[in-house]
């Protein structure tokens, strides 16, 4: 954890998450690749392992999925980092969502609103695939972990495509595999 961020670095962190908020089609998790680029690649505030662990811990905890953003901020700069990242990711998208919902509800039958809504599906899927890649890469890049990680990926995709099993069972499977040291 790096709690020695300057005021300008904290403002930069807030500003980056304000921008990501407006790109978070499908939820904040879809912007993880750019969060990783900014926090790990550009500023080196966290390592790959710390970044991935922050998301895993937050996703395993009860509560809204967006909490991973606060955990990332906390690990970068303590309470002020958590405030910067969480405020940044929530404020613009919340205001825009409230406005767009009211506007779209009044125009829901127009071809433009229907086309826009339908067009968000492939964008969301692409962003989720990019997020999965960023989160899996630290495990796929270690030869000893690669077989277990690939097996988990293949099993998860197959189960999600062919059944209606809750994804929580797959999270539990991943936890068990991790506890056993296979990944």
- Residue 94, SS3? helix
pTM here?
0.68
Please give the mean pLDDT across all residues of the chain: 91
List Cβ neighbours of 1 (8 Å cut-off, separation of 6 or more).
74, 75, 76, 77, 78
- 114 phi, psi to nearest 5 deg: -65, -40
Give the pLDDT confidence score for residue 1 in this predicted structure.
58
Give the pLDDT confidence score for residue 2 in this predicted structure.
61
**pLDDT tens track for 26-85:** 789 999 999 999 999 999 999 999 999 999 889 888 888 899 999 999 999 999 999 999
**pLDDT tens track for 137-164:** 988 998 988 888 898 889 998 998 999 9
């Amino acid at each position: 954890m790096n709690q020695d961020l300057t005021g300008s670095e904290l403002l930069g962190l807030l500003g980056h998450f304000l921008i990501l908020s407006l790109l978070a089609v499908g939820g904040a998790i879809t912007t993880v690749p750019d969060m990783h680029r900014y926090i790990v690649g550009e500023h080196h505030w966290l390592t790959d392992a710390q970044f991935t662990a922050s998301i895993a811990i937050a996703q395993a905890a009860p509560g809204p999925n967006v909490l991973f953003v606060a955990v990332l901020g906390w690990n970068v700069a303590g309470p002020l980092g958590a405030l910067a990242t969480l405020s940044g990711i929530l404020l613009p998208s919340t205001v825009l969502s409230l406005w767009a919902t009211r506007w779209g509800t009044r125009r829901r039958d127009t071809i433009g609103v229907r086309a826009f809504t339908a067009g968000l599906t492939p964008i969301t899927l692409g962003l989720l695939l990019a997020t999965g890649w960023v989160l899996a890469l630290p495990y796929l890049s270690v030869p000893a972990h690669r077989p277990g990680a690939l097996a988990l990926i293949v099993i998860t995709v197959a189960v999600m495509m062919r059944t209606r099993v809750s994804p929580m069972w797959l999270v539990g499977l991943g936890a068990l595999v991790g506890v056993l040291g296979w990944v």
